[in-house]
Amino acid sequence: MPARMKLSSVYSTLPPAEKKVADFILADPDSAAHMVINEIARCAGVSVPSVTRLARKLGYSGFMDFRVALASGTSSVKSDAVLPISPADSDEELMRKLMIGHMRAVESTLKVLDLSAVSHLADKVFNCRRVVWFAIGSCAQLAENVSEGLCRIGVDSVVIDKKAIMRNYASRLGADDLVFAITRTGKTQSTLDSLKIARESGCETVLITNLINSHGEAYADHFICTSRQDELYRACGYETGTSICALLESFLILIERKKGFDSKEHFLGTVSSLD
């Protein structure tokens, strides 16, 4: 995953000093990629150790390792002048910025998504007894769309979205079940607890989230991190689920094609059924 996308993904979990470093880097990643650690610390108004801690939190051995990774991808993901969102924006400008944010989220996800792994995961849908989705709120609705599509082609699929029964249901699953957990924030405790229990019950597990360092990754055989385009999140507190939605809709169509439903008419029917 590109360094800048990692930084955006973990932003909301950072302490104040590290957020200052992240703000400085994300504002102009091209320039930051050519600065020494003391310069970044001074410009961000923090200590040198704060910069080092951030680099290590992102999974790098130190600042130099992080700077090399940042330099390798800055030109293709450089911030654009349309962000951040401002209270002075007109309705039209706000809509334009939000739409660009949605597009960027999908583009960022596509750049790092292991498409062969997703294809392999689609094959597993046909070899399990049941597909189970753990999610709550808006994530549950996304899961419902896919689950209904799977049921239409003969795959046993169910969405469990009630906190009161999620953990109990997970404990009754077994090695023949394929479990997906969806949490945009990566912190939904009931969803992650259910994923953990399902893993302990012998299920093959998948976590789909916007958070690169979600502790739920420890409970997942397959970890898929999408982009929430964190510039929007920092600007107005809006966390987009666009990338997860695009991933799941594409995943469903891929499964249906593998099942043999690949005509134009069936494709159009699938897309319209997701509305």
pLDDT in tens, 153-203: 999 999 999 999 999 999 999 999 999 999 998 999 999 999 999 999 999
Q: What number is the average pLDDT over the span 212-238?
A: 78
Can you tell me whether residue 127 is helix, strand or coil?
A: coil
The pLDDT, as a whole number, for residue 78 is 41
pTM of the model: 0.71
Contact assessment for residue 47 and residue 41, using Cβ atoms and an 8 Å cutoff:
yes
**What domains can you pick out in the chain, each with its CATH number?**
1-77 (1.10.10.10), 112-273 (3.40.50.10490)
Question: pLDDT class for 83, splitting at 50, 70, 90?
Answer: low
What percent of the chain is modeled with pLDDT above 90?
51
The pLDDT, as a whole number, for residue 49 is 93
Q: Which residue has the higher pLDDT, 78 or 85?
A: 85
- Residue 245's alpha-carbon distances to 83, 96, 102, 139, 143, in angstroms, are 23, 20, 11, 9, 9
Whether the predicted pLDDT of 148 surpasses 90 = yes
Q: Which residue has the higher pLDDT, 251 or 29?
A: 251
Check residue 90 and report its DSSP letter.
-
The pLDDT, as a whole number, for residue 273 is 57
Q: What number is the average pLDDT over the span 78-98?
A: 71
In this predicted model, what pLDDT tens digit does every residue of 12-70 receive, in sequence order? 788 999 999 988 888 888 888 889 999 999 999 999 999 999 998 888 888 888 888 88
Whether the predicted pLDDT of 73 surpasses 80 = no
> What is the rounded distance in angstroms from the CA atom of residue 105 to the CA atom of residue 254?
21
> What is the rounded distance in angstroms from the CA atom of residue 270 to the CA atom of residue 4?
35
Question: pLDDT class for 105, splitting at 50, 70, 90?
Answer: confident
What percent of the chain is modeled with pLDDT above 70?
85
The pLDDT, as a whole number, for residue 140 is 95
The pLDDT, as a whole number, for residue 269 is 59
User: What is the CB neighbour count within 10 angstroms for residue 9?
Assistant: 25
Whether the predicted pLDDT of 275 surpasses 60 = no
